[in-house]
Amino acid sequence: MLYMRFFHFLGVALWIGGAIAAFTVARSIGSQPAEARRIFWPHVARIHALVIGPGAMLTVITGVLLTMSLVNRGMTEVMARPGIIIMQGAGIIAAVIALFVGVPTANQLGALGRGDDALGSDGTQLAARLRKRQAIASSVAGVLTLVALFAGAVIK
């Protein structure tokens, strides 16, 4: 159980830390010309693929295992606490958004930044749509992640 909690907190740290890093890079290159921004898209894609995605998966998997462990120990009253319920719900929804919208969108932007023509010849409009989708998905997932973190730590 102790190791599971360690890996759960490690996943949360990777997920939130990676999201802050990706957000910082995206905000700092936002005022640059389009060609300069394209250089950084593969790096943001790698942050999503190597830090945010695995962090979200590790957090959800260990969270489910911790939940199963508490239920097996007969601690169902702990599972009925509002903070735990909010943490689980918001965390799972945030992970689904991060894994199934955020990571693939970042990968598409990374491919555009590398000059992959398989994504279409009109890269400028596609990049604008992908950047908007990435901003929305990352913002929603980030807010839900912080709600889950707050609920798990503060609400009893």
Q: Which residues contact 136 (CB under 8 A, 6 or more apart)?
A: none
Question: C-alpha distances in angstroms, 151 versus 23, 84, 90, 101, 148?
Answer: 23, 7, 9, 24, 5
**Widest pairwise Cα distance in the chain:** 58
Q: What is the dihedral of CA 118, 121, 124, 128, to 10 degrees?
A: -50
Nearest to 101 by CA among 48, 54, 149, 59: 48
Dihedral angle over CA of 124, 25, 87, 14, nearest 10: 120
Percent of the chain with pLDDT over 70: 95
Q: For residue range 28-86, what is the model confidence (pLDDT) as tens digits?
A: 987 888 778 888 999 999 999 999 999 999 999 999 999 999 888 888 888 889 999 99
Cα 120 vs. chain centroid, distance in angstroms? 27
24 Cβ neighbours under 8 A, 6+ residues apart: none
Distance between CA atoms of residues 56 and 92, nearest Å: 9
The whole-model pTM stands at: 0.88
**Confidence bin at 121 (pLDDT 50/70/90):** low
Spatial CA neighbour of 9 closest among 103, 126, 87: 87
User: What is the pLDDT confidence band of residue 114, given thresholds at 50, 70 and 90?
Assistant: confident
pLDDT top residue among 87 and 120? 87
Distance from C-alpha of 47 to C-alpha of 69, rounded to nearest angstrom: 31
